[in-house]
Amino acid sequence: MEKNLKALVDKLETRHTLLRDEWISLIRWRTPLLSDYVFQKARAVRQHFYGKDVYIRGLIEFTNYCKNDCYYCGIRRSNPKAHRYRLSKEQILNCCTDGYELGFRTFVLQGGEDGYFTDERMVDLVKTIRQEFPDCAITLSIGERSYDSYKALFEAGADRYLLRHETWDAEHYSRLHPPQLSASDRQQCLWNLKEIGYQVGTGYMVGSPWQTPENLADDMLFLEKLNPQMVGIGPFIPHCNTPLKDHPAGTLELTLYLLGLIRLLLPKVLLPATTALGTIDPRGRELGILAGANVVMPNLSPVNVRKDYLLYDNKICTGSEAAECREDLENRMRAIGYQVVTHRGDSLNTNQERERNNRYV
Ligand code: 5AD
């Protein structure tokens, strides 16, 4: 194994920082041997903070209407073939009730940027969930909104917010998104969310079209600066009704490697083994856990709408990612020496650390 690269992994492990050129080398010149070295260390770090616990979050995909037109996404506005749905408040609350009985203590409300869900409707929804499930964490994942909107939702009882930065580089961002959307707006939303006090999750797609090792290095520098509580990464997977349909999918290999590096960069971060990872490989999520991930997010949406929340082709939606198959998920995790736990699974990042980060704003 290349000695210099190994030394970079050691530096990352002890100092939790690398220079841009160092990131580029680590990513560009990786080998299977070096990956194993990273995974070993990542597992040790993860075990130190989280033992063999795997946290679960119940994902409720409550609307697939979206005003945006991201070139990679299957629920983009211009996909006329997407069969649109929107869950009612009652349906969403039923998902939470079912999820609570299954042992979920975090609900992730994820949706497209759907104008129907005004601040008023969202605040009402969040308040109701907060009242009915006081011991649960409420996570929102509903895209870009104003500072005041984020603030109102936080005050209504939302604790966490997931918003992937997608790619840090403005030019790369503009190749994946229509001109109305920008990398800087996206990043500003994340700083706003932090300032308001949310626990924040960000992330990006691995192997998205035109992505370079330089882009991934910049993503790592951004993660270091933002210091989010969660980082969600998964392979890009083409969707047949999108402009990027002919681009190849990101690989399992690179996604796992980056998961390991992120664990070393942000030791206490919550790192999901994502649905996209489970989609490109039947053992993807197990391998993600073994590379340093510590969260899985099974689907709590009503079974009849799952087939419509298709961000990419072949998305798994009936297997063990389904909440009903919690037993199967537990068995899979047990088989690799891990156990699913049911508490809220708050990030170990302290408020103090969060405050320190807010000074970047
Ligand atoms: N492949 C993989 N991930 C995708 N996402 C959207 N479209 C795709 C795709 N084709 C991811 C984006 C978004 C998250 C909800 O899903 O990163 O932020």
Most confident of 99-103, 152-156, 299-303: 152-156
Distance CA 97, CA 110 (A): 17
* The 339-341 sheet, strands edge to edge: 295-296, 53-56, 339-341
Whether residue 200 contacts residue 194, with contact meaning beta carbons closer than 8 Å, is answered with yes
Distance CA 249, CA 245 (A): 10
Q: If pLDDT is split at 50, 70 and 90, which confidence band does 147 have?
A: very high
- Which atom of ligand 1 is nearest the CA belonging to 244? 10
- Which atom of ligand 1 is nearest the CA belonging to 312? 10
> What is the average per-residue pLDDT within 87-111?
95
> What is the average per-residue pLDDT within 297-315?
88
In the numeric block, which tokens belong to residue 44?
């040790």
Classified as helix, coil or strand, 81 is coil
- Which atom of ligand 1 is nearest the CA belonging to 237? 1
> What is the average per-residue pLDDT within 305-311?
88
Q: Is the pLDDT assigned to residue 360 strictly greater than 90?
A: no
Residue 349 has a pLDDT of 63
Distance CA 247, CA 327 (A): 36
Q: Is the pLDDT assigned to residue 351 strictly greater than 50?
A: no
CATH architecture of 2-359: Alpha-Beta Barrel (3.20)
User: Which protein residues are within 6 Å of ligand 1, measured from CB?
Assistant: 72-73, 164, 166, 205, 234, 236-237, 239, 276, 311-312
* The 106-111 sheet, strands edge to edge: 58-63, 106-111, 137-141, 160-162, 199-206, 230-235
- 77, 113, 299, 312: which to mutate for ligand 1, most atoms within 8 A of CB? 312
**Amino acid identity, residue 114?**
D
> What is the average per-residue pLDDT within 167-181?
98
Q: Is the pLDDT assigned to residue 265 strictly greater than 70?
A: yes
Buried b (16+ CB within 10 A) or exposed e, 209-235: bebebbbbbbbbbbbeebbbbbbbbbb
Q: What number of residues does the chain have?
A: 361
- 69, 205, 241, 280: which to mutate for ligand 1, most atoms within 8 A of CB? 205
Q: If pLDDT is split at 50, 70 and 90, which confidence band does 138 have?
A: very high
Q: If pLDDT is split at 50, 70 and 90, which confidence band does 345 have?
A: confident
> What is the average per-residue pLDDT within 348-353?
54
Strand boundaries in 226-353, DSSP class E: 230-235, 295-296, 339-341
Distance CA 138, CA 129 (A): 8
What are the angstrom distances between the C-alpha of 310 and each of 138, 165, 197, 234, 322? 23, 20, 31, 15, 15
pTM of the model: 0.94
Mean pLDDT of the chain: 93
